[in-house]
Amino acid sequence: MITNVRIGNDIKLMWQILDGGVPVNLTNATDIKISIAQGGTPSCDKIEITTFEIIDAVNGMIAVEVQKEVITKLGYLWTVLEYTVPDSSMIDGNRKITVDNVPVRIVAVTDEASQDSEFTVSSDIQAGFQGKSAYEVWLDENPDKTLQDYFDWLQKPAIDIAETVNLQEQARVEAEELRVLAEELRQTNTATAISNAENATENANTAAQNADDARLAIQSDLGAKAFHGYASIEVAKTLKQVEDDTSVKMTNLITNGNFVNGTTGWRFGGNITGTSVADSILSFIGGGHLIATGDNWINQIGRTMAPDGHVLYNIVTARSLMGARFYMGIGFTSYSYDLTDQWGTYSYLGSYDYYNTPTYGAALGNTVEMTNAMCFDLTEIFGAGNEPTKEEMDLLISILGIDYFEGEITIPAQKIMQWQLKLIRKNKNAIIALGGTII
């Protein structure tokens, strides 16, 4: 059984060497050497261990201590024993023996590790034993049977398989007949579907043109009514009031998200290392999974940035010159991206009942560069129940062409209309497929 041990701990093994299940007498053993290998095979990065002791030579017991300083890699940790014993059957009178064991797997975090770092293990140097023939084993279980019974028993699986194959062939023939019928139906339905798709495309194009015409009419009407009431009972509105009624205001909750002021306003967990800022780019080395502990986070100073349960949209530009697993999230929820050496834009949408704030991190030892961090309270902007999806917000940001801003911006009605039209066009086929109509 292999046990997980967190990196940074000493390991002690009580190792018994067996030969065919019998303890090996190590009294006359010489040239004893123990080493560890870190990786996939016993030959990977071998390091000799001097901290071992034969505590019971007659019963082949060895105590091995592996100091934490020599454990440098995650993954399986092999222990390899080499020794020489006198053997008159060998030309030089000695037999050299090597045996290995894989008692532990080194892991990065305590949550994955066992509570123990001392183990009792055994290794058997004998490759195998000569045993009974298959017929003799079968005869032990069937003492009243004959050799012919044994042959019949051997043939039975083949006979059963033949019967099964015949049944499967009958089923295959029936399935092929059904497939031919289904293909005929598919061809008929395809022709109908093509005709419906052509009609749907024409309707969608007409709807898009109508929407564009409506947008132009709204803009013209707003210009004409800038200083006029909308009805006899209404008060005349100024251009500023009209703009406020037809536009959307967005506030970036993050300050110094482009790190022009270094790390001012940011908090770094204790497991985050190697932090530096150059040319408005933050570089850091990850401390592990984002939601494992607050010591693995990067976030703005302060516990919350929005009311509990509000939906937040988190977006950032990031890369890793060596490749990295990058985490971003809201509170104790997160998603991971695999970064390349090219700058990319990554986003996450979510909410949390407390500690409702954007968070960032990386896998243990991975180096990440990030900048242009922004976060928006979609519940505040669009109202509860009307929050856009992550994909819809990604589309809106691309339409606005925004890399980064601080404070508040106003999105004109024209941009909102473009966004809505693209969403309609993007989803027109799905709308029609569900029985809807685009007017």
Supply the CATH number for residue 313's domain.
2.60.120.260
Other CB atoms within a 10 A radius of the CB of residue 16 amount to 17
Sign of the four-CA dihedral 83, 85, 90, 92:
positive
Give the pair of three-digit tokens for residue 352.
């949390």
Q: Is residue 48 part of a domain?
A: yes
Distance, in Å, from the CA atom of 87 to the CA atom of 373, rounded to the nearest integer, reads 71
Closest CA to 291 of 247, 334, 340, 259: 334
Average pLDDT over residues 178-207: 80
More confident residue, 241 or 181: 181
Q: Count of domains in the chain? A: 2
- Give pLDDT, residue 413: 82
Q: Is residue 193 part of a domain?
A: no
Q: Which of 101, 124, 147 is the last residue of a domain?
A: 124
Banded pLDDT at 224 (limits 50, 70, 90): low
Q: Is residue 26 part of a domain?
A: yes
Q: Is residue 422 part of a domain?
A: no
Sign of the four-CA dihedral 334, 340, 341, 344:
negative
- Give pLDDT, residue 217: 66
**Residue written as token pair 């991971």:** 336
pTM (two decimals) = 0.46
Pairing between β-strand 22-23 and β-strand 11-19 as defined by DSSP bridges: antiparallel
**CB within 8 A of 376, min separation 6: which ones?**
250, 251, 252, 253, 312, 313, 393
Per the document, the length of the chain is 439
Distance, in Å, from the CA atom of 229 to the CA atom of 207, rounded to the nearest integer, reads 30
> 131-182: per-residue pLDDT in tens?
455 666 667 778 888 878 877 777 777 677 767 777 888 888 888 888 888 8
Query: Is the model's pLDDT at 357 over the cut of 70?
Result: yes
Query: Is the model's pLDDT at 305 over the cut of 90?
Result: no
Give the pair of three-digit tokens for residue 160.
């059963």
- Give pLDDT, residue 125: 78
Distance, in Å, from the CA atom of 339 to the CA atom of 322, rounded to the nearest integer, reads 9
Domain limits for position 118? 3-124
Percent of the chain scoring above 90 in pLDDT: 39
Domain shared by 397 and 253, yes or no: yes
* DSSP letter assigned to residue 99: E
